[in-house]
Amino acid sequence: MIRKIIQIDEEKCNGCGQCANACHEGAIGMVNGKAKLLRDDYCDGLGDCLPACPTHAISFIHREAAAYDEKAVQENQRKKEAQQHALDEMYHGCPGSQMQRIQHTPRAASASFVPAQSQLGQWPCQIKLIPVNAPYFDGAKLLIAADCSAYAYAGIHEDFMRGKITLIGCPKLDDVDYSEKLTQIIQNNSIQNITIVRMEVPCCGGLEAATKKALQASGKCIPWQVVTLSVDGKILE
């Protein structure tokens, strides 16, 4: 049948995932960092996802598509709720808070050991506390890092913080959207590039999403990259 259905422009999509969160039917999912319409029969054509997209990558079109299947949507929602309930039972809450013991192989002490030197280039470093206008932002390379990353990754000072202005935060514990403040920092200063260092846990996605949103809102084209760390201190990507 020919009916109204959404279309997602992959070129405009910045991978923030807000449309997927807004789609209560589960028609939209994230595939390789981009939003995708996963099933035509899950899309009701009402467009709750459109206002959630910050880049206006979603629009309506009329095309041949399967009819909206409310029963299939409800069944899918029941499955998701059951899966989430199972996770809650297993982890007693957030999957990112799962308790686990991490074992590392101890290294022998070296006779030529030299204590590491801090590479923190400014104070304060918490996103909530840092001013949006500061002289050290002029021509700066930004490191936006999750609080836990400094404890998970032993070489963060040398490998990531050296030569950068470091901003840290935890979207789960701070319970705040950093994007507005990050937008002001990017807009008001000559930032060279941005490195985001996050943990693999789901809640850390808020830090990445806020930075992407700020870059989009700033109107500036600044090179950026995301580095994801495992909870045992390995670089995943």
Q: List the domain boundaries for the chain.
A: 2-91, 135-229
Question: Residue 107: its pLDDT value, please?
Answer: 59
CATH number of 135-229: 3.40.50
Average pLDDT of the segment spanning 163-169: 96
CATH number of 2-91: 3.30.70.20
HSE-CB at 73 with a 13 A cutoff on CA atoms is 17
Tens-place pLDDT, residues 17-64: 889 888 989 999 988 888 999 999 999 999 989 999 999 999 999 999
